[in-house]
Structure 1
Amino acid sequence: MAASVLSGPPMNQALSPSATEEFRRGWGTILASVLGIGLGMAAVPTYSMGLFAPHLAKAFGWSIGQIMTSMMVITMMSLIGGPLYGAWAEKIGVRRIVLVALPVWGLGFASLALSDGSLTRFYLTWLVVGAVGAATLPITFTRAVNRGFDKAKGLALGLSMTGTGLFGIFGKPLLAWVLAAYGWRMGFIVLGMMPVLVATPLVALLLREEKGTSPAAPVAELIERPGMTVPQALRDWRFWLIAVALVPISFALGGPVPNLELILKDGGITPEQALTITPLMGLASIMGRLVGGWLLDRVWAPLVGTVLLSAPAISFWYFSSGTLDVAQARAAVFVLSFALGIEYDLVAFLVARYFGLKRYSAIYGLLYVCFAAGAGFAPMVFGRNHDASGNFHGILMQCAGVLVVSSLAFLALGKYRRFEAEA
């Protein structure tokens, strides 16, 4: 068993020569991850369902809660598929999994254009889409990044997951234009074909990850990285502290995003004004990933997580006021999205620093279950709350308190572990 000792956070203040070499060798892995994650299940449904919802409600008479239940369906598939794909990636590598999953996921998403008013068939389609799409989640792509970077791990993870923010910047306006010009069916087709025609060929070109190796480091160094096995991690109290904290945090952060257009409407923001505000989500998310990644390499990660993940409580207070002006709405959306930019990166970083890389994907997959459980069920709960009360004010204020309390739990994690290879 690999030995471990506790150590403090790295204090390097700039990219060292070895970190520069990591980026020189691993830029393809990062770019492939940007494309795969940005056009995968982590980004596309989250940023698009708020735009699809009014059109589906008008076409079929469905309520917002019924439509947002689709997010719960893909969450169920994430809960099952995430850990399975994570463990599978340890055996056959990331490349083989994602090059099959990306095109099938895209075609499945495009098939939602065939929806005919049956909620049962709508949910069954999402069930199949989610089962395949779980392989496009950061669980798989961050394995390649984590194994290729050490000195600049936080920044590399932040860069690799800017794809979600880029989709928010470019994908949402594109979808809004398609919906206005060609209708919701074409919207599903356009978004669904992007993983097929854009992500798949470029990931095939850029990602050269094989079993036990990474394009960013020599094979001999990466055949077996030290760290904990899954049973060892499950016996560690730190694993359960992270797991328990992630559920309410992901619920509080995940609920507002697909419902953001309705939240802004409740605050008095017109649809025209909202179209100028929501693209900020992508920009702020990218900034959160880059700034957060930079901070993770230099500052104790639990402190970074506590501060950045609790900050959206301020946004929720503004959202629930019912009297938003455009400047307040922009500030609130920016703070929320900045925090969304650090969430995946933080979990990936914590797994690497506290449990090592020996079974990184499998351990991350288990923690992702906790994250997905909160974030996936939240849109449905938020939607049904809106159906019942006519607004989101009450649930937003509850989430503000939950977010602060849960984020503080990370401070108990203590010093990083330093894993030593087996003798």
Structure 2
Amino acid sequence: MRKFFYGWVIAAASGLGIGCGVSVFIPSTLGLLVGPLGKEMGWTPQALFLCPLFAAIATVFVATPVGALVDKYGVRRMIAFGFLAQAAITASFYFLGTDIAGLYARYALFAILGTATTAVAFTRLVSAWFERDRGLALGIALAGTGVGGAIWSLLAQHFILRHGWRVAFLWDSGVMLLVLCVLLAVVRETPKSMGLSVDGSAISATPNALRPSAGMTLGEASRTRAYWFMIVAFVIVVSSVYAVMLHLVPMLRQRGVSAQTAAAIQASLWMAVVFGRVVTGWLMDRIFAPYVAAAFLVPSAVGMGLLATGATGGQAVVAAMMVGAAAGAEIDVVAYLCGRYFGLRHYGRIYGSLFAVAALGTAIGPALAAQLLPLAGGYMGVLWFEAALVVVGFILFLQFPRFDSQRSIEQMQRGRAEVVDSRG
């Protein structure tokens, strides 16, 4: 019988960390705040949906440096700093004043100080533990986005209804600190630190297994066709999917759905993210990953179409889950492809640059949708627009180049060695 591999604990712990990090906390709670903050502060939905844009702009500048710090100092130190900062910023919402600039500043700080709580750190950790089953392990870790989104949707709404939105943020902060304690107790940087090897076997499971010391630099990766395909495809898909995700609660409330029911439907969307990420991870170990991503975009477009036709009740739950499954697939794929195309040596820096672009998409999409609402005559026109973007993403994923990571990485390394020899 095969011995249990501690790497699966690392994957599960990474899921817990990602699920409680800023990249999940922001989109799963912002829609819940539109009503309370609009009532007390007089802020419009259009103004509130600019919050993720401030976080995304900050992410563009900090994600790559944070990835480099993760490569240099390790995951444990960076996630400790990130969660302490995130908890402090969250607690500071208790003192939020009537100047909306204070709200925007907090969301920018979430990104500046909390990016180490995201997939930038945790996918680097999981990739160091797995080679043969890396897709499934990443799927389990990134499924934390869906679990965390569902839990935050229900838990934050419960705190708001029971204590009011100000005190609710204090409870949210306490949850983050508790999660940090769990992570520090179980997370280990590499299999070697526990006397293990990648995948838990004495010898690497595959002859071409990528070593942590092997990999392209960010400059080398940015000169490949795969890198730019990833940037264009993911910014299009992420912006459209997250536009629907963040607008789901306000849209349902406009259709007469109660606040608690709307939060429950949003939670169902996040649970579908879990399905999308785990299934995607398992499939990517067996099928060319961009084709897997393209397949998950089909139900997403259909789900957006259902919502555009005015779905409520059970139909809205099904439609939301179809959209959520695509969100689960796409972020999973970029983490997997980053390691396969470019290796692990500078994974944090390269993935950080891709994460920054994806973060920009998560902000541009909801903000653009809010601005389009009056022009499109309501959510119907906006949803058909987002569905069209998903179709464009589907076509792009079918154009991705095949990859032979070890061969391309070794070619890059030989090129660097030849340059050094010629200078010597």
Shift, 1:114, TM fit:
1.2
Aligned residue number for residue 176 of structure 1: 157
Aligned residue number for residue 417 of structure 2: none
Contact 1:354–1:416 (8 Å) recurs in 2: yes
Aligned residue number for residue 348 of structure 1: 335
Gaps of 5+ in 1: 1-16
Shift, 1:268, TM fit:
5.3
Shift, 1:31, TM fit:
2.6
Aligned residue number for residue 217 of structure 1: 197
Cα gap change, 1:69/1:216 in structure 2, threshold over 3 Å: closer, same or farther? farther
Aligned residue number for residue 200 of structure 1: 180
Shift, 1:69, TM fit:
0.9
Shift, 1:278, TM fit:
2.3
Report the TM-score, using the length of structure 1 for normalisation. 0.88
Cα gap change, 1:210/1:402 in structure 2, threshold over 3 Å: closer, same or farther? same
Contact 2:245–2:266 (8 Å) recurs in 1: no
1:248 aligns with 2:236: yes
Contact 1:33–1:160 (8 Å) recurs in 2: yes
Aligned residues: 402
Within-5 A mapping of 1:341-380: 341-380=328-367
1:55 aligns with 2:43: no
Q: Deviation per CA, 1:363-395, whole angstroms, max 9, x where unpaired?
A: 111111221111122222223333666622212
Secondary structure of the structure 2 residue equivalent to 1:278: helix
Q: Specify the code of the residue in structure 1 equivalent to 2:362.
A: A
Contact 2:86–2:114 (8 Å) recurs in 1: yes
1:46 aligns with 2:33: no
Alignment equivalent of 1:284, drawn from 269, 272, 282 = 272
Q: Specify the code of the residue in structure 2 equivalent to 1:73.
A: F
Shift, 1:264, TM fit:
2.2
Q: Deviation per CA, 1:326-368, whole angstroms, max 9, x where unpaired?
A: 1211110110111111222100111111222221111111111
Alignment equivalent of 2:55, drawn from 69, 74, 80 = 74
Contact 2:238–2:327 (8 Å) recurs in 1: no
Aligned residue number for residue 207 of structure 2: none
Contact 1:90–1:211 (8 Å) recurs in 2: no
Question: Distance between the aligned counterparts of 1:147 and 1:358, measured in 2?
Answer: 10
1:31 aligns with 2:19: no
Shift, 1:138, TM fit:
0.3
Q: Specify the code of the residue in structure 2 equivalent to 1:256.
A: V
Contact 1:36–1:195 (8 Å) recurs in 2: no
Question: Distance between the aligned counterparts of 1:331 and 1:380, measured in 2?
Answer: 25
Cα gap change, 1:211/1:383 in structure 2, threshold over 3 Å: closer, same or farther? farther
Alignment equivalent of 2:136, drawn from 148, 155, 164 = 155
Gaps of 5+ in 2: 205-209, 415-424
Q: Specify the code of the residue in structure 2 equivalent to 1:25.
A: Y
Contact 2:15–2:144 (8 Å) recurs in 1: yes
CA RMSD of aligned residues (A): 2.4
Aligned residue number for residue 127 of structure 2: 146
Aligned residue number for residue 125 of structure 1: 106
Aligned residue number for residue 234 of structure 1: 222
Contact 1:25–1:217 (8 Å) recurs in 2: no
Question: Distance between the aligned counterparts of 1:338 and 1:45, measured in 2?
Answer: 19
Q: Deviation per CA, 1:187-226, whole angstroms, max 9, x where unpaired?
A: 2221122111x22111111111169978863699887432
Cα gap change, 1:417/1:277 in structure 2, threshold over 3 Å: closer, same or farther? same
Residue identity (%): 28
Q: Specify the code of the residue in structure 2 equivalent to 1:364.
A: Y
Return structure 1 stretches of 4+ with deviation > 6 angstroms.
210-215, 218-223
Shift, 1:130, TM fit:
2.1
Q: Deviation per CA, 1:155-198, whole angstroms, max 9, x where unpaired?
A: 100111222211233222121121112111012221122111x2
Cα gap change, 1:230/1:215 in structure 2, threshold over 3 Å: closer, same or farther? farther
Secondary structure of the structure 2 residue equivalent to 1:169: helix
Within-5 A mapping of 1:362-401: 362-386=349-373, 391-401=378-388
Cα gap change, 1:275/1:91 in structure 2, threshold over 3 Å: closer, same or farther? closer
Alignment equivalent of 2:78, drawn from 74, 87, 97 = 97
Cα gap change, 1:306/1:388 in structure 2, threshold over 3 Å: closer, same or farther? same
Aligned residue number for residue 11 of structure 1: none
Question: Distance between the aligned counterparts of 2:385 and 2:214, measured in 1?
Answer: 41
Report the TM-score, using the length of structure 2 for normalisation. 0.88
Deviates more, 1:335-344 or 1:125-134: 125-134
Shift, 1:87, TM fit:
1.2
Contact 2:226–2:401 (8 Å) recurs in 1: no
Contact 1:81–1:135 (8 Å) recurs in 2: no
Contact 2:129–2:191 (8 Å) recurs in 1: no
Shift, 1:41, TM fit:
0.8
Q: Deviation per CA, 1:294-327, whole angstroms, max 9, x where unpaired?
A: 11111111110111134311111111113x2412
Shift, 1:75, TM fit:
0.7
Secondary structure of the structure 1 residue equivalent to 2:404: strand
Question: Distance between the aligned counterparts of 2:303 and 2:223, measured in 1?
Answer: 37
